[in-house]
Structure 1
Amino acid sequence: MVGTTLITALVASLCLFSGAGGAPLEKKQTLSLEDIQKQALANAWKVLNGTLDDGMTRGKTCNAQTVSIRKEYGDLSKDERKEYIRAVKCLLSKPSKLSATKYPGAKTRYDDFVVVHMNMTPSVHSTANFMHWHRYYIYAYETALKTECEFKGSQPYWNWAKYTDLPASPIFDGSETSMGGNGEAVSHKSGMPGTPAGPGGGCVKTGPFAGMNITLGPLMPTMDAALKIPKNPRADGYGYNPRCLRRDVNNYFITNWMKPANLVAQITGNSAIGKFQDSLQNGFGGAQALHSSGHFSIWGDPGGDVYVSPAELVFWMHHGQLDRHWWQWANYLEAQVKTRASMYEGGTNWMNPNSARGKATDPQWLDVVTPAGTEGIQSNQLFSTTAGPFCYLYQ
């Protein structure tokens, strides 16, 4: 994406990745976040056990005995965290399956996932399949960890509302069981007007991923230009551009826009998938968007780049929580489970408001990271976490 197209994308991304909105609440908050989780899990078990119908067709392979339970990273044991870290490092060590000529910056199997996201960004953000494609994408990553790196666990998530001091959380505290620490403290300004800079900004130098380099992008950077993060040698961001993983993990977004009340309001205040998805990406009730707030709570390079953000290792936990948030919305009201399961609304290109409307039969693509047997899977196979190729619930 080059020239005027890139400028157009930048303008659109500022709405997508850092927007705030003022959509009115559709009903008052009467539940706590814990209530919503309990009700969603209870109803999801009913669906799995056949006592509640969500309208999805299920085979016999996903049942109470085989279902995987995804947990919050801080709730994993230290051994479970180490196992996840080992598997991620494994993907970082395996060679890319992409063309070295077409994608010279893709050196590892992990990089393959980054390239797929870079390619798909315009069609999987602010579109009908925003939630659905990313669910499929996370599943593909989890599948690669299991089939290519012998991972024994389930993909963890980051509960946005759990930590009041994110840099000190088990995810970023820099311990041997973290996903690496915050970036080194360096003098810098915020790359986004009206938002304070965080306490990091430099290279990650603590924890299991200390000294890690990234090689793709940046394509749409949001860090202070004074930091002089090297530009990619190619306009499309696919050139080889080795540089350190930077983070600016901060508490600004989680303390202002990601409190339990914000999550409850977004879940209970949107009864249709279109408004639910839009308000996740553009803001709700005067609050910053939860999707962008999660990304910018990590920030850095590439964490704040809408195209290259999966090169940030915690991307998968952030989008795991986004998937959980959708799962909670779809399941917490027993009388609405069947109706909400099949909702699908929106366009097909986030930079074109007049793009064709998405259809539940639209195929979804993941190129070289596609799990076996799922190439071109239809969106309607991605509606439930216990139907189609999936078999997992959230704890």
Structure 2
Amino acid sequence: MLWTVALFAGVAAAQTYLPDAVDILAKESLSKVKDWLAKNPQGSCTLETAVRRKEWSDLTVAQRKAYTDAVLCLQSKPAKTTSSAPGAKSRFDDYIVVHIQQTPRNHGSTYFLPWHRYYVWHYEQALREECGYTGYQPYWNWGRYAHDPINSPLFDGSEGSMGGNGAPANYQGIPIPGAPRPYNLIPSAGGGGCVTTGPFKNMTVNIGPLAPLSIPGIPRNPRADGLGYNPRCLRRDINKNSAAVTTANYTYDLITKNNNVYWFQTVMEGQFPQGKWGVHSGGHYTVGGDPAGDFYVSPGDPAFWLHHAQIDRVWWIWQIQDLQNRIHEVSMTRTMSNFPPSANGTLDDLSGLGVLAPDVKVRELMNTLGGLMGKFCYIYE
């Protein structure tokens, strides 16, 4: 992927990437959104009034720094979840607590896509309302950086990044339970230790781990549920082996070759018994380390929020190919991988964010242009 760096008025501009196939599809599909809105007006929410979430490298360095400053601000404010999670020390930790508590319900289930949409939007609101952030949640277009993520604007360790790689650690890689060889282990990319550069070099991870991790030296949590106080550094292993499954062709095929939400979500999350990780897993394991490599605690790495904004973007692009039908389409059961066995979820099921936000019907989380009783009004650029 080609990019250049421009300068204007003495301020560094964002790198400019050539549009990939997914970018082009999204832009071309806006005419479908316009037609749908003409037939289905959403109150004050229009294409003109909708918030536009942008890709990380399309922001200026100053805009990126404003975002990371807001994340650091959220990490400095007292937690609301301490009664159930004594390890929670900040408002940032509150979001990790909710994810840990709701992981068995909101992954591999009906709620995976709509719940994470609600989750990312609420986090965006916290940054804006509690920390004075005036922008919106950026996303991570995986394909832009897949060939060299360590040297990307996202992870190069500069002040305009989301922080750098971890220091070298002696570990073999990340095991993938249930996957056949050779797909059952993501080889180490040479990191795995503490992040020492960028805005989060001094960050403390307070909660977890919960899932088994292969990196040595990470202390166990004092509680079985992972919610005890366990301060440690942020660790990463920025891994191009994992990023290899997030190139634009994988995302484009995901959107265009899966005509129902069951297969769209199944392929996105990964089919581990067949050795297929999916872009969801590929993005998480591109970051790796602790807590990003922990299925439950992964929101504890600030990069999580850009990854899941991209998950939401890809779902949004898939939805707008047939918006009339796909904003009403859910699938799967109410439990992760149907364990324990449960009934199929419906649009009238409730989904919420614990102490952070009330339960709402899933149908309120399906439409980015007028959903959540009109509070959702955004698209992706």
TM-score normalised over the length of structure 1: 0.84
Shift of 1:143: 0.6
Tell me the residue number matched to 1:19. none
- The answer on whether the counterparts of 2:98 and 2:354 sit within 8 Å (CA) in structure 1 is yes
Give secondary structure in 1 for the equivalent of 2:379.
strand
Tell me the residue number matched to 2:290. 301
Counterpart amino acid of residue 355 in structure 2: V
Please say if 1:328 is aligned against 2:317: yes
Name the CA distance, whole Å, in 1 between partners of 2:325 and 2:288. 36
Structure 1 gap ranges (5+): 1-30
Q: Deviations over 1:141-161 (max 9, x none)?
A: 001011111110010000011
Instruction: For CA contacts below 8 A with separation 6 or more, give which structure has more relative contact order.
Output: 1
1:1-395 aligned at under 5 Å gives the runs 32-47=21-36, 50-53=37-40, 58-60=42-44, 62-100=45-83, 102-163=84-145, 164-192=147-175, 193-224=184-215, 227-255=216-244, 257-283=245-271, 287-331=276-320, 333=321, 336-350=322-336, 352=339, 354-370=341-357, 375-388=358-371, 389-395=375-381
* Percent identical: 42
Give secondary structure in 2 for the equivalent of 1:184.
strand
- The answer on whether the counterparts of 2:139 and 2:308 sit within 8 Å (CA) in structure 1 is yes
Name the CA distance, whole Å, in 2 between partners of 1:202 and 1:138. 27
Name the CA distance, whole Å, in 2 between partners of 1:98 and 1:58. 35
Name the CA distance, whole Å, in 2 between partners of 1:67 and 1:317. 19
- The answer on whether the counterparts of 2:139 and 2:305 sit within 8 Å (CA) in structure 1 is yes
Name the CA distance, whole Å, in 1 between partners of 2:139 and 2:106. 20
- The answer on whether the counterparts of 2:22 and 2:252 sit within 8 Å (CA) in structure 1 is yes
- The answer on whether the counterparts of 2:106 and 2:336 sit within 8 Å (CA) in structure 1 is yes
Structure 2 gap ranges (5+): 1-19, 176-183
Tell me the residue number matched to 1:28. none
Shift of 1:140: 0.5
Name the CA distance, whole Å, in 2 between partners of 1:42 and 1:217. 45
- The answer on whether the counterparts of 1:44 and 1:393 sit within 8 Å (CA) in structure 2 is no
Q: Deviations over 1:303-331 (max 9, x none)?
A: 01111000011000000000001011111
TM-score normalised over the length of structure 2: 0.87
Shift of 1:290: 1.1
Name the CA distance, whole Å, in 2 between partners of 1:253 and 1:190. 11
Shift of 1:286: 6.7
- The answer on whether the counterparts of 1:203 and 1:211 sit within 8 Å (CA) in structure 2 is no
Give secondary structure in 2 for the equivalent of 1:141.
helix
